[in-house]
Amino acid sequence: MFTPPPTFSGYGLGLRKEHYRDFLDGDVPVDFVEVISENFMVDGGQPRDILRRVREKHPVALHGVSMSIGSADGVDIAYLRRLKALADEVQPLFVSDHLSWSRVAGFSSHDLLPVPYTEEALALVCRNIEVAQDVLGHAMQFENPSSYVAFDGATMSEWEFLAEMSKRTGCGLLLDVNNVFVSASNHGFDAHAFLRGIPAERVRQVHLAGHSQGPGLLIDTHDQPVCDDVWALYRTAMSLLGPVATMIERDDAIPPLAELLDELDMARGLGAAAREAA
Amino acid sequence: MKLAQWQEGFRDWLTTGSADSTDVFGDRAWPGLTVYQNNYRTQLVTCLEVSYPQLLRRIGEGNFRNAAMAHIDAHPPRGWTLDTYGADFVDTLVAVFPRNPDLHELAWIEWSLSEAFVAPDASPLAREALWSVNWDEARLRLTPSLRHRVATTNADDVWSALQNDADSVPDGEMLDVAGALVVWRQGFHSRLRRLDADDDAALRLAIGEGHFAAMCDTLVMRLGEEAGVARAGALLADWLDAGIVVGVDN
């Protein structure tokens, strides 16, 4: 049984191509950066070189999108070995992915598809996490995804599923506050109940992002600034959590770095205020 | 319902868009399923657009989108990374544009450049390493980023004009004499070159057995003794400078 990864308290940004030059040439005021693992799980060339040079300046968290931990087919061992090779080189703060699935019977959707919150899925996800952690040799973190479909036969809430998953496997949790807000809105549950329901002591990292209004549903687009409602939820989360690494996650419509650093300052301020008030 | 069946139903919905696949999800799921369906197709189209930016400019958004949709229907993604999704897009282009080898070769160029960009690293060979080489026995080791194919059109000229935002982009034309296209990475930069038939013959030998002596013999046969030996030496020097040759084994 693994135990959740060590805590790290700080504020970071996702490393995106638009800001490579800033991170390589300048002194960007972040405590860590997070990269999309798959973008660097390549054989060689400039991406790996950039990651090596950024790693010399900042701690790095590896955040994946393709592990498909909820896949009924099990996890892809070749993928895990490639991820392990990257992790061995980078020596990351955390290795994380999502509580979702994307792969079935040789098909890969490349989207974070929802897991039904049932005992069958819980047992399968836990088995897959144990395999992944065994290959990697350390505990991972798994993030609550935004979802647009709820399974009629669910027997537990998302936060109950996450809590039991973490308890059984020793994995840490990555709390995406925006995803809580989006899923709560889409499925009509209480976002604060989610925050109170997850085991705070197992949360190691927090994501903040923006979303968009779709036809009848909120869509997790990561192309907007963090909205006021999500900031408010973040403040509540920080009053409940222990030491965590908070990160602004922007994947589309990437603004100048200064704008993201302003958002990160906002997170710092709210985080500090929440801690003082707690 | 078993999780595997549920996931297969989800896959069928994404790949076919058929309402028959959605019965297991219930009526409440319909708006959300539409979001996932849209995400799936949009992401794959975007992936192809990012992989083939000059082809997109060449054929226009409408034609590109039609080809992309045909590709998505015929080739659901299978790999763990989207970076490989466009690998067989050229097969779709052959089906959609059967009379346009210039487009097939343009697509090959773009795909090969992106493959070379993240191919395994290889250090260039220092000239000093050649001093002790027995050239009668020498075998050339080429960079793992090297990609090579027959060239029948001026697709490389078209790609260069598009890539450099040239004022005019040439029409696609068949070459008078077929040659070869070569793509590789030098340092962190992907390179493209068209070879004539003589240089192509030499490179094919280098890619195959790698014997430098056989390469010389072939060039001598094609060009005569003096010119053939001179061309072999010039090619070796050029390939060393360009980072195509990364080792010589005896």
User: Which residues from B are below 8 Å from A101, CB to CB?
Assistant: 7
**Cβ–Cβ of A110/B43 closer than 8 Å?**
yes
For residue B129 the two structure tokens come to 């390493």
Chains A, B: CB contacts within 8 A come to: 114
Asked if B42 is an interface residue toward chain A (Cβ–Cβ < 8 A), one would say no
Is the C-alpha dihedral spanning B239, B241, B243, B248 positive or negative?
Answer: positive
Mutate to test the interface with A, among B12, B73, B118, B145 (most CBs of A within 10 A): B118
- The whole-angstrom separation of Cα B194 and Cα B217 is 22
pLDDT at B206: 93
Would you tell me which residues 80-119 of chain A have a C-beta closer than 8 angstroms to some C-beta of chain B?
101, 103-111, 113, 116, 118
Domain range summary for chain B, segments of one domain joined by + = 1-99, 122-250
Number of domains into which chain A is organized? 1
Give me the residue label for tokens 């544009």: B97
pLDDT at A267: 98
CA distances from B86 to A66, B77, B115, B188 (A): 17, 9, 11, 22
**Cβ–Cβ of A108/B78 closer than 8 Å?**
yes
Q: What is the pTM of this model?
A: 0.95
DSSP letters spanning A118-156: SHHHHHHHHHHHHHHHHHHTS--EEEPPP-S---TT--S
pLDDT at A118: 96
pLDDT at B19: 80
SS3 letters across A153-213: CCCCCHHHHHHHHHHHHCCEEEEEHHHHHHHHHHHCCCHHHHHHHCCHHHEEEEEECCCEE
For residue A234 the two structure tokens come to 């973040």
Asked if A74 is an interface residue toward chain B (Cβ–Cβ < 8 A), one would say no
Span A95-147, pLDDT tens digits: 999 999 999 999 999 999 999 999 999 999 999 999 999 999 999 999 999 99
Q: Contact, B13 vs A113, CB < 8 A?
A: no
> What topology does CATH give the domain B122-250?
Outer Surface Protein A; domain 3 (3.90.930)
Would you tell me which residues 211-270 of chain A have a C-beta closer than 8 angstroms to some C-beta of chain B?
214-217, 219
Environment class of A57 (CB within 10 Å of its CB; exposed 0-12, middle 13-18, buried 19+): middle
Q: Contact, B30 vs A156, CB < 8 A?
A: no
Q: Is residue A1 part of a domain?
A: no
- The whole-angstrom separation of Cα A263 and Cα A178 is 14
CATH of the domain at A55: 3.20.20.150
Asked if B81 is an interface residue toward chain A (Cβ–Cβ < 8 A), one would say yes
Q: Kindly list the averaged pLDDT for each block of 10 residues, start to end, along chain B of length 250.
A: 89 90 80 94 97 98 98 96 96 97 98 98 89 92 97 98 96 96 97 95 92 94 96 95 94
Average pLDDT estimate for A160-166: 98
pLDDT at A151: 85
**Cβ–Cβ of A101/B7 closer than 8 Å?**
yes
Residues sharing a CB contact under 8 Å with residue A191, sequence separation 6 or more, in sequence order: A180, A181, A184, A233
For residue A90 the two structure tokens come to 């980078």
For residue B96 the two structure tokens come to 């959609």
pLDDT band, residue A8 (cuts 50/70/90): very high
- Which residues is A8 bridged to in the sheet? none
Mean pLDDT of chain A: 96
HSE (side-chain half, CA atoms, 13 Å) at A219: 16
CA distances from A12 to A152, A204, A209, B203 (A): 38, 13, 13, 48
**Cβ–Cβ of A44/B43 closer than 8 Å?**
no
* Host domain of residue A174: 10-277
Q: Is residue A235 part of a domain?
A: yes
User: Which residues from A are below 8 Å from B85, CB to CB?
Assistant: 110
pLDDT at A16: 97
For residue A258 the two structure tokens come to 């200064």
Q: Is the ipTM of this complex over 0.90?
A: yes
pLDDT at B1: 62
Q: Is residue A215 scored above 90 in pLDDT? A: no
CA distance A90 to chain B (A): 17
Identify which of B32, B82, B188 has the shortest CB distance to residue A110: B82
pLDDT band, residue A266 (cuts 50/70/90): very high
Q: Is residue A4 part of a domain?
A: no
Would you tell me which residues 32-51 of chain A have a C-beta closer than 8 angstroms to some C-beta of chain B?
38, 41-49
Residues sharing a CB contact under 8 Å with residue A196, sequence separation 6 or more, in sequence order: A240
Instruction: Please give the helix or strand (H or E) that residue B156 lies within, else none.
Output: helix B155-163
Identify which of B3, B34, B76 has the shortest CB distance to residue A116: B3
